[in-house]
Amino acid sequence: MTTSRVTTPFHSHATTHEVIDGVDLSGRRAVVTGGASGIGVETVLALAGAGAEVTVAVRDTAAAEALRADWAGKSARGEIPVEEVDLADLRSVEAFGKRWDGPLDILVANAGVMAIPTRQVTEEGWELQLATNFLGHFALATQLHANLAASGSARLVVVSSGAHRTAPFDFEDPQFEKRPYDRWAAYGQSKTADVLLAVGARRWAGDGITANALNPGWISTNLQRHVDDETMRAMGAIDANGEIIRTSYYKTPEEGAATSVLLAASPLVEGVTGRYFEDNQEAGVVTDADERPGGVAAHAVDPEAADRLWDLASAALR
């Protein structure tokens, strides 16, 4: 396994086409959750364009079906199947896993929700952002573990966010039952959990499965649907007229998807596992007191926290 910090020749605004150029994924099978919008679409198109057999796993199959004709025209294999999976419903996740037959080479845990205004919980009592962004993907990965292992060289790619730096995982009150609900703290915690998922999956290295998390960067997508214009203006994301402010760090969806595609397909990260990437490079570890942008928080790559969260999530699936 690679132990030194990984660097690549790709810059922060490289596109999916650049990072996957020359990569042949013929014969490889992939699942991309949330593949019908935002960076998910670009991830699907890049992998399919390189020859992979890609399945789009989404809650809203109608939205995905509307894109299938366009996808087929850009896929090296033509047709791209669509399957239903609701990550906030563990029965739906289990059903998807049982339907999957044969090896799985790439699982991109891309779907997510952000900044839900009020506290909502699933049937299992999990706060909805944590349930969707983390637990549903944890359940999907564990449900498909045997299929990933059958590949012999499978990759799990977990889309996190720079927001993970704002909130360590609160093992004492992860569901906001005691502390006041804060939509941004809940989102940040869920994204810390996503990084910890990749770290915890180091236990699968012996099965030929690698897992890495990433920050796609700042992209305007449907992920912001719960964020009002006033908040977006305060964040410096839009101007007084509601137009996107294209700062130097702003990315297009294709640029935002590049790191996902790099981790899913590039030979440059073969054998790398349990890491966190941003701007197509492995990020350095930073402390909670560090105010510089970027980097991965020490609390998100703590192996003891990762194992503790793995046990907590496993108990929820029983």
pLDDT, tens digit, for every residue of 132-147? 999 999 999 999 999 9
Q: What is the pLDDT of residue 178?
A: 97
Compute how many other C-beta atoms are within 10 angstroms of the C-beta atom of residue 242. Answer: 9
Name which residue leads in pLDDT, 240 or 106.
106
Q: What is the pLDDT of residue 177?
A: 98
Stretch among 17-26, 147-156, 182-191, 217-226 having the lowest mean pLDDT? 217-226
Q: Supply the residues annotated as catalytic.
A: 187
Q: What is the pLDDT of residue 52?
A: 95
Mean pLDDT, rounded, for 164-173 = 97
Q: What is the pLDDT of residue 166?
A: 95
Distance of CA 122 to the CA centre of its chain: 20
Q: What is the pLDDT of residue 38?
A: 92
- 11-45 tens-digit pLDDT: 999 999 999 999 999 999 999 999 999 999 999 99
Q: What is the pLDDT of residue 227?
A: 45
pLDDT at position 240 over 50: yes
pLDDT tier, 220 (very low <50, low <70, confident <90, very high otherwise)? low
Q: What is the pLDDT of residue 226?
A: 44
Percent of the chain with pLDDT over 70: 90
CA distances, 275 to each of 153, 245, 285, 303 (Å):
17, 31, 10, 11
Compute how many other C-beta atoms are within 10 angstroms of the C-beta atom of residue 267. Answer: 8
Stretch among 62-71, 119-128, 154-163 having the lowest mean pLDDT? 62-71
Structure tokens at 158: 């977990």
Q: What is the pLDDT of residue 156?
A: 98
Q: Which residues lie below 8 Å from residue 131, measured CB to CB, with a gap of 6+?
A: 87, 88, 121, 122, 124
Q: What is the pLDDT of residue 234?
A: 45
Q: What is the pLDDT of residue 22?
A: 97
- 273-313 tens-digit pLDDT: 999 999 999 999 998 778 888 999 999 999 999 999 999 99
- As to burial, measured by CB atoms within 10 angstroms (0-12 exposed, 13-18 middle, 19+ buried), residue 119 is middle
**Which runs of consecutive H residues, i.e. helices, occur in the chain?**
16-20, 38-49, 61-65, 68-74, 90-99, 128-130, 136-143, 145-151, 183-200, 229-234, 253-256, 258-265, 303-317
How high is the mean pLDDT of the chain? 91
**CA-closest candidate to residue 257, choices 102, 43, 30, 113:** 43
pLDDT tier, 246 (very low <50, low <70, confident <90, very high otherwise)? low
The vertex-199 CA angle with 8 and 266, nearest 5°, equals 30
pLDDT at position 59 over 80: yes
Q: What is the pLDDT of residue 48?
A: 94
DSSP-derived 3-state class of residue 207: helix
pLDDT tier, 247 (very low <50, low <70, confident <90, very high otherwise)? low
**C-alpha to C-alpha distance for 264 and 155, rounded to whole angstroms:** 6
